[in-house]
Copies of this chain bind each other. A is one copy, B any other.
Amino acid sequence: MAMNALNIPSATISRMVTYLRILEKLESQGVNRTSSKHLAEKAQVSAFQVRKDLAYFGRFGTRGMGYTVNVLKRELRRILGLTRPWNVVILGMGRLGGAIANYPGASEYEFSFRGLFDVDSNIVGQEIRGLTVLHSNQLAEFVSSQATSSQAIDMGFLAVPPEKAQEAAQLLVDAGVKGILNFAPAVIQPRLMGEAGKELEKAEEWRDVIVENVDFLAGMKRLAFYILNPSLKELEKEVEL
């Protein structure tokens, strides 16, 4: 993919996800054409921000003519890696894991839940969405049994209590899972190796691991901050210009 790869901010990636959602809605409403101004209004950002975000990934649309909705949608799906299937395991099948497995739209974009894991003997063995919950100590064996199939596991979702999150992340990484989506209110850290006095390096198995966070409490705290400081929310938007 031709892109200006040097410094794409993670906020741009988050907004690309939002633009894609808007384009899908427009398409379902039978709208054929859109513009950076139109997308900006729907996404609650500036038109300049939309153009800047898209420019990281190439040139889309025609100057003064805007974008064709289904073409831009296809491009964004390609950029975001949503044209291939993603095979997912969930660790922690309590209320939160159950809510994730049943989240409306999780099977959109070819995210497929392939394995569900827990350590609680009351939960192990239950059937959830056609899958039998396995014990977490079966994770490594499960992942390796899938490794050469078309259902090789790409991502692990952590829905365990916060005090178990680091340990469960290590379990995923030891099993060879390179992508972690962490729902626990805990900061996941790579295992570090090295000698005293030298800079510590990531342990070998953590080298290519990506961790992203979906954090309820962090959302609550950001909201609390902005309720107390509403003017900062407005300013932020202007600064993006």
Contacts and interface: CB of A to CB of B under 8 A. Distances in A.
A110 to B, nearest CB: 10
Interface string A168-188: 000000000011110101110
A167 interface: no
B227 A154 contact: yes
A217 interface: yes
Interface string A15-48: 0111011100000000000000000001110000
A217 B102 contact: no
A71 interface: no
Given A187-B22, A216-B214, A221 B9 contact: no
A213 interface: yes
Q: How big is chain A's contact interface, by range?
A: 35 or more
A18 B210 CA distance: 17
A203 interface: no
Contact of A42 (B187, B217, B218, B239): B187
Contact of A10 (B11, B79, B96): B11
Given A104-B162, A217-B105, A187 B222 contact: no
A105 B217 CA distance: 8
Interface in A191-241: 208, 210, 212-233, 235-236, 239
A14 B189 contact: no
B212 A9 contact: no
Contacts of A224: 80-82, 86, 155, 179
A7 interface: yes
**Top 4 closest A-B pairs, CB basis?**
A214-B219, A95-B99, A99-B99, A7-B239
